Amino acid sequence: MSKKGGQQNLEPEYLYLRVRAGDSINTNALAPKLGPKGIPPRKAAEQIQKVCKDFSGLKVTIRVTIIGREFTVDVMPTASTLIIKALNEPPHEKSADFKHTGNLSLEQVKEIARQMRHKSLANEFEGVVKEMLGTCVSVGCTVEKKSPKEIQEKN
C-alpha cells in the first residue's frame, strides 16, 4: 500500500536484526532499512540499546515493529542466548570457537524451556527440555555437573 493522498500504511511491518547487546549500533547499517519507512536510524539505535541492556555482551535478535511512522523494539532471545545469560560468565573476547564451561541446574534449564515453549515444535514440555539440553551441548556447558547428553538419556 502506498502513501498516496496522505494515507499511512497501518499494517505492521517487521524487521529482524541480530546485534551484540551493549555495543554501539552502527546507524549507517540501519539507515537503508529504516530510512525509507520514515524512521530516524539514530533514534532506533538508542531504543535498541535501551531494550538490550539486560543482555550486555551477548548476541540477541531484535524485532522492530513498524506501524506508520511509529516503531517499537522487542528482544527475541534465542535458547543459546538465554543459556549463556544463565551461566553468568564474565565478559570474554569475541571469538567464534569459544566454549562455555559453566554449569546450570536442571531447574534453570526448565525455566529456559518455559520461556522458549512458544517457539518449540515439541508436543510435550519434556521435548522442549530435551531441546534445551541439546542447546547446552552446543554451547558447551554442563547441567548438574554432568554432560547434558547423559541427562537426556536418563529421562
Query: pLDDT of 95-123, one tens digit each?
Result: 556 667 778 888 888 888 888 888 887 78
Residue 3 pLDDT = 53
Whole-angstrom Cα distance, residue 94 to residue 117? 29
* 0.85 surpassed by pTM: no
**Burial class, 112, CB count within 10 angstroms (exposed 0-12 / middle 13-18 / buried 19+):** buried
Q: Give yes or no for a contact between 136 and 143, defined as CB atoms under 8 angstroms apart.
A: yes
User: Which residue type, as a one-letter code, is found at position 59?
Assistant: K
Residue 4 pLDDT = 53
User: Which residue type, as a one-letter code, is found at position 51?
Assistant: V
All domains in the chain, ordered by first residue? 4-76 (3.30.1550.10), 79-154 (1.10.10.250)
Q: Give yes or no for a contact between 76 and 62, defined as CB atoms under 8 angstroms apart.
A: yes
Query: pLDDT of 65-89, one tens digit each?
Result: 888 888 888 888 888 888 888 887 7
